[in-house]
Structure 1
């Protein structure tokens, strides 16, 4: 399952992002950076323009599918003709996946499924083993216990 990220989620996981993603955030902002990561995460691109544009594999046309003209101009102004790597942001995406998984388990339980049924359905959908799923649920339960005030 490919994890997509929206700009609000990207903002919440900023502390998990690599420096190169933080640079993109400064140049383009959250929405455009989220779109770049979704589309090109893990790929090195070239911002060459002019005659060299076509030799770079037509990257400009690919970037135009994701960025507005203004966003593309900002990126090229910052990078010049240099190649640039769009990070995958694995740690942030993994955190998002885990958060979404725990929320989906809770939703299924509220809908009447047992936790085992929810795990059987959701682990394959989220691309995780049930062992990881149980660890995530256990971690969440421990966090909830720590944040609840004691009775006495």
Structure 2
């Protein structure tokens, strides 16, 4: 996934485990907190699992329990970094799809629905090219 180098290692791991959109939900809801990930062996564990599932969905909650169950998961507040990753993905997808012959409007419509953004926001993201680390070095 392009742009993962901008994320803290713990969040990059979450993105790999449950996907970008779901990781963003987790960061928005629990960012800046430590969440005790249950093993689902007690009533309290089931309550915590249900709370987690309400945020990320059953499949992602199962994946988190399988990976982190019985431990504590610190969820960093890194919405800006996740947004940068999302924007890079939007740009990459737009270029790939328009190179295949799809119209710009069709691709933007798809991206707006996929990321739950307005089409105007997608166009704004596309007009603002993401800064890659190599581009920053050339400025020095």
Question: In structure 2, do the counterparts of structure 1 residues 107 and 9 end up closer, same or farther at CA, with 3 Å as the change threshold?
Answer: closer
* 1:105 lines up with 2:105 in the alignment: no
State how many pairs are aligned. Answer: 115
1:122 equivalenced with 2:104 (yes/no) = no
Partner of 2:6: 13
Q: Which has the larger radius of gyration?
A: 1
* Alpha-carbon RMSD: 4.4
Deviation per CA, 1:56-91: give whole Å up to 9, x if none. Answer: 54537977752457x545x35xxxxxxx76457432
Label 1:72 to 1:101 Cα distance change in 2 as closer, same or farther (>3 A).
same
Gaps of 5+ in 1: 1-7, 77-83, 148-152
Q: Which residue of 2 aligns with 1:31?
A: 13
Tell me, which stretches of 5 or more residues in structure 2 are unaligned? Answer: 53-60, 136-140
CA shift in 2, pair 1:68/1:117, >3 Å: closer
Instruction: Normalising by structure 1, report the TM-score.
Output: 0.48
Question: TM-score, normalising length from structure 2?
Answer: 0.51
Q: Deviations over 1:78-106 (max 9, x none)?
A: xxxxxx76457432332222111111111
